[in-house]
Amino acid sequence: MVKLHKAFAVATQYWRPREDYLKQIVEAIENKVKDRDFVAISEKAISTAIGSLVDESLVQPSWSARFIAKYWMRFVWPYILGPLCRLRRKTIRRLRAYPIEGGAHKQVALIHGGFLQALMQGSEGAIDGSNLPYSYVSLPLDNAQQIAEKIHQQIMSKLDRRVTVVIVDTDKTYSLKGFHFTPRPKPLKGIHSFGGFLAYLMGRVLKLEKRATPLAVSGSKVTIEEAIEIAKIANRSRGSGAGRTVWDMAKTFRVPLTNVTWEMLDEVKHKPIVIIRPERE
């Protein structure tokens, strides 16, 4: 088991679509990273930079998506599933007032994640609208391993540093005696993905250990437990930018949910990179 010594988040400018994120990463860590460090990078920031986004204002919700938004989200989650999962009171209040316009979001979840993912109370299929403007949401990476390898090669070639790159997501992985599972799709190999909201419900009701989810590792061999622990430390060190949820983000800027702009997000300190240093012999 790798013994981790310290971790520190690295601030960068906000990564907009078509951002050269490889250049941004190298410049941000150039005078900070050392050999054997772990460089953890946010999936969300990469998804935004490569333009893996959907504008939900252009999405026409189906009958099933409207039903989920109007009834499942407003009644089943706040009055039945929310208390079972011990959701915070603030979250339950927000679910009771879930916007009808959320049908478009549920339609995107149905298309890209499937029915069980659409029934999640948030982060359906790892689709995320926090720290994004207007009605945009980001999609999960389809090729996280290839991107991790590309970042690792770039750091090697530009900085000559032997590091391990880990792409991580805030969505939770639950652990039970060495069995790790998550409701989100496409986690790191060795973490089981199944069930959508059912996996989330199981993890919360059983009070299982929950940590952030690693998606890809490049540069060295680490165990699943080590990768999950690195994701946990990175998530704890990074902070939440403009807000942990779209509601928090709107509250930060004091505007309606879909009135956040790119310029507003530019003003916030973003920390998409976390350097985690193991103990030196």
Domains of the chain: 4-53+141-278 (3.30.1330.100), 54-138 (no CATH)
Q: Evaluate whether 50 touches 42 at the Cβ level (below 8 Å).
A: no
User: Hey, CA dihedral for 163, 24, 249, 47, is it positive or negative?
Assistant: negative
> What is the structure's pLDDT at 210?
97
Q: Band the pLDDT of 208: cuts 50, 70, 90.
A: very high
* Residue 163 contacts residue 37 (beta carbons within 8 Å): yes
What values do phi and psi take at 74, rounded to 5? -85, -20
Strand partners, 9: 274
Is residue 39 predicted with pLDDT exceeding 90? yes
Q: Is the pLDDT of residue 171 over 90?
A: yes
How many CB atoms lie under 10 A from the CB of residue 82? 20
**Confidence class of residue 275 from pLDDT cuts 50, 70 and 90?**
very high
DSSP-derived letter for residue 126 is G
What rounded mean pLDDT belongs to the chain? 95
Model pTM? 0.94
144-159 helix and 21-29 helix, angle to the nearest 10 degrees:
50
Placement of tokens 């792409």 in the chain: 167
The pLDDT of residue 156 is above 70: yes
- Overall size of the chain counted in residues: 281
Query: According to the model, what pLDDT value does residue 232 have?
Result: 96
pLDDT at 2: 66
User: Model confidence over 16-31: pLDDT tens digits?
Assistant: 999 999 999 999 999 9
**Dihedral through CA 194, CA 196, CA 198, CA 203, nearest 10?**
80
Q: What is the mean pLDDT of residues 169-194?
A: 97
